[in-house]
Each structure stands twice: as structure tokens, then as C-alpha cells.
């Protein structure tokens, strides 16, 4: 049967029709007729820089483009190595390869699913130029340890916070820990929009200046000077839409934290029985983009939920080093923790409009499955 409680929220922007039309009208009838790099983009950059506590925010076409802008701005190229997680989203590695640099894979922590600082330390060589950690699911990478490691070795840190806008660690915002960071505004990210978009965060002025120039295909609007760059601009309609929707962000993040807390409590019996591992969500600074449990009966459980009209999702079922595009960079290497996460994770619905009854039905269906198979 089709899911009555799908994994991805249905009609995600239905109630934003008027807001969307207003954004289009405001931009389309504006006196300057600027559809890129105008007041709406500048306003959004100011809002996000202030919220993250950084000096500069540079809006761009998407988060992948933001990673590329930063690597380009830092001059990372052939002969350089960038340490990346063995588990996660493909663009993290794509951008390194496209720069001509070499991705060096490091295994992830078995509980957080994020890059393991000890594995990073073992991967550092004289050619290492940067570390590219990525936050996943509901736990930030160990940024204090990674930043300390980078400082000791004279390395840059590019923080992929694409899914972590609104998260904090030790009181500091995700995206603000590294020398630069990125957020994503694609549809199902924490602050998703009607299309794609991204933003670079940094306290480093030369990085910000270089990223601003590169996103305009290398052209300096003031002098007319040209250089090799990238075409990675955010359009004004999307920026205007995000600013109009700004007031919703805290509510959406708060509701997803409540949903995660519900699952943590309701699924405790199966976790205590040892048949499921629940995500590690810090009590002091909870955050949840994806709520993913771990079980060695993942595929059976997924089929059980589907039969009851509950959607679920498997994130990154193939580790990054095992993907054909990147296999040459990890020949003969194994990454047991990344492989375990890819094999056993199952993400449950967490869209904010889910009711308490919905969450109880999902949780109780999971408990029912394990009750049948462990009795």
C-alpha cells in the first residue's frame, strides 16, 4: 500500500502559495529590476550571519556550490589532500575531486555517524590542506576536537552544515566552527525553499571577498575586471521567499526536536532489549534533521512499516569510498563504522506537521515488529 504517513512531507509548500506569489511580485515589480544580487539576497545574508554569529554570509546557488566556492577561494587544487568522511552525501567528495585535489577518507564515529577525529588525525600527511567534516542526522561532528587538530597541523576546516542550520554545539552555531561553513536551502533541509540555494559562512574577510567574486563567474562588478570563476548566484525570488518565511524557522526546529524526543522515549523498550540503537541526541543542545535508528533487521522492518502505510528512508546505503566515482581513492581500504551505518540505518518521518497520534502509530508499529520477532 502507499504510505499514508510518507517519509517526506506531502504538499510541502501548499500553505506558502501566497508567500511565493508575494516574493515573485515584490522582485518582479521592484524598481531596480535586479533578479540576482539585489536587496533580498543582501537582507538574507545579514539575517543568517547574525543568527550564526559570523561576520560574513555569502549566498550562492546551492550548498554544493558553496563548498566549491570556498575550496576555490582557498586555492585548493591538484597536489592537495582534503580529509572527508567515509559516510555521507556525495557532493562532499565531488567538490574536492572537481578541484583536482585528492579526497582522503576517514571512518566515522559509530555512534554519531560523523567523521572520527582520531581517524582524521591518522589520515593527516604533509599534503593535507583541509578537513571537511559534515554534520548528519541529529548529531554535529566533534568540531572542538577537529578544530584543535587543524590548528596544530596548520590546516583549514570547511564545515558542511548543509543539514544543520539551527543546531549548536557548546553554544556555537553549526556552520560557525570552521574557517568557513555552508548551509543548504534545498526543499527538505531545515529551512527549505522553493528551489535550491546555499550560503557560505565565515569570519575570514579574504575568504568572503573571494567567494563573492567567484560566485559571479569571477567578475568584479565594481571594476569590471574578470577572472576564472563560477556561476553560483542565489536569485532574488528565493532570497525574498526565505526572508518572508524567516519567522517559521525556530518553530520548525523546535517541533522536530519534540518529535525526536517522542521517539527517544517511546522506543526505549526496544533499545533496552538490544534490537535497536537509537540516535545519539545530546540532552543539552538537541537538534534533529533526520531521526535514524540502527537495526540489523533494517530491510524487514522497513517492509513491515510500509505494509502499515508508514514511509521510511535509507540514507546513503553505499559508503562514499565504495562508490565507483571515488573507489580509486580508497583502494584496499575498509571503513567498518561507515559500512555499518550504511547497512543498518533506517530514518523515520520527522516532518513538523506529524501529530502525536501519528508518532505513536509509527513507534508502536516498530515495537510490534520486534515483539513478533523476539518473543
Q: So which residues are the catalytic ones? A: 189
289: Cα separation from own chain's centroid: 8
Q: What is the Cα 249 distance to its own chain's centre?
A: 16
Burial class (CB in 10 A: 0-12, 13-18, 19+), 96: buried
User: Which long-range CB contacts under 8 A does 336-341 form with residues at least 24 apart?
Assistant: 336/107, 337/86, 337/87, 337/107, 337/108, 337/109, 337/110, 337/116, 338/85, 338/86, 338/87, 338/107, 338/108, 340/110, 340/294, 341/87, 341/108, 341/110, 341/113, 341/294, 341/316
Closest CA to 266 of 227, 230, 293: 293
Strand partners, 235: 36
Grid cell in block for residue 147: 578544530
Question: Exposed, middle or buried by CB within 10 Å (0-12, 13-18, 19+), for 306?
Answer: middle
Amino acid at each position: 500500500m502507499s504510505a499514508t504517513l510518507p517519509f517526506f512531507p506531502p504538499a510541502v509548500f501548499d500553505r506558502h502559495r501566497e508567500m511565493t506569489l508575494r516574493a515573485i511580485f515584490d522582485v518582479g515589480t521592484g524598481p531596480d529590476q535586479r533578479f540576482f544580487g539585489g536587496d533580498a539576497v543582501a537582507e538574507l545574508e545579514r539575517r543568517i550571519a547574525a543568527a550564526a554569529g559570523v561576520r560574513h554570509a555569502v549566498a550562492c546557488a546551492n550548498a554544493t556550490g558553496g563548498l566549491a566556492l570556498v575550496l576555490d577561494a582557498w586555492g585548493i587544487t591538484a597536489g592537495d589532500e582534503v580529509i572527508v568522511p567515509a559516510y555521507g552525501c556525495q557532493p562532499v567528495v565531488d567538490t574536492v575531486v572537481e578541484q583536482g585535489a585528492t579526497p582522503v577518507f576517514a571512518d566515522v564515529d559509530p555512534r554519531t555517524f560523523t567523521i572520527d577525529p582520531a581517524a582524521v588525525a591518522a589520515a593527516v600527511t604533509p599534503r593535507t590542506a583541509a578537513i571537511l567534516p559534515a554534520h548528519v542526522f541529529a548529531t554535529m561532528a566533534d568540531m572542538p576536537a577537529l578544530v584543535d587538530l587543524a590548528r596544530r597541523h596548520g590546516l583549514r576546516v570547511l564545515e558542511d552544515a548543509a543539514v544543520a542550520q539551527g543546531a549548536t554545539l557548546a553554544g556555537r552555531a553549526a556552520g560557525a566552527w570552521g574557517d568557513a561553513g555552508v548551509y543548504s536551502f534545498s526543499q527538505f533541509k531545515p529551512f527549505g525553499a522553493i528551489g535550491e540555494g546555499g550560503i557560505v559562512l565565515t569570519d575570514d574577510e579574504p575568504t568572503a571577498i573571494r567567494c563573492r567574486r567567484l560566485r559571479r563567474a569571477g567578475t568584479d562588478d565594481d571594476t569590471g575586471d574578470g577572472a576564472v570563476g563560477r556561476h553560483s548566484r542565489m536569485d532574488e525570488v528565493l532570497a525574498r521567499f526565505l526572508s518572508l518565511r524567516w519567522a517559521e524557522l525556530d518553530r520548525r526546529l523546535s517541533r522536530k526536536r519534540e518529535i525526536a524526543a517522542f521517539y527517544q522515549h517511546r522506543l526505549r523498550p526496544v533499545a533496552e532489549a538490544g534490537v535497536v540503537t537509537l540516535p545519539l541526541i545530546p540532552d543539552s543542545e538537541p537538534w534533529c534533521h533526520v531521526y535514524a535508528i540502527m537495526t540489523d533487521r533494517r530491510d524487514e522492518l522497513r517492509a513491515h512499516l510500509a505494509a502499515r502505510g508508514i514511509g521510511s528512508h535509507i540514507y546513503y546505503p553505499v559508503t562514499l569510498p565504495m562508490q565507483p566515482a571515488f573507489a580509486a581513492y580508497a583502494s584496499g581500504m575498509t571503513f567498518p563504522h561507515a559500512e555499518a551505518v550504511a547497512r543498518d540505518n533506517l530514518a523515520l518521518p520527522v516532518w513538523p506537521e506529524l501529530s502525536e497520534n501519528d508518532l505513536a502509530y509509527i513507534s508502536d508499529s516498530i515495537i510490534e515488529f520486534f515483539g513478533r520477532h523476539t518473543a
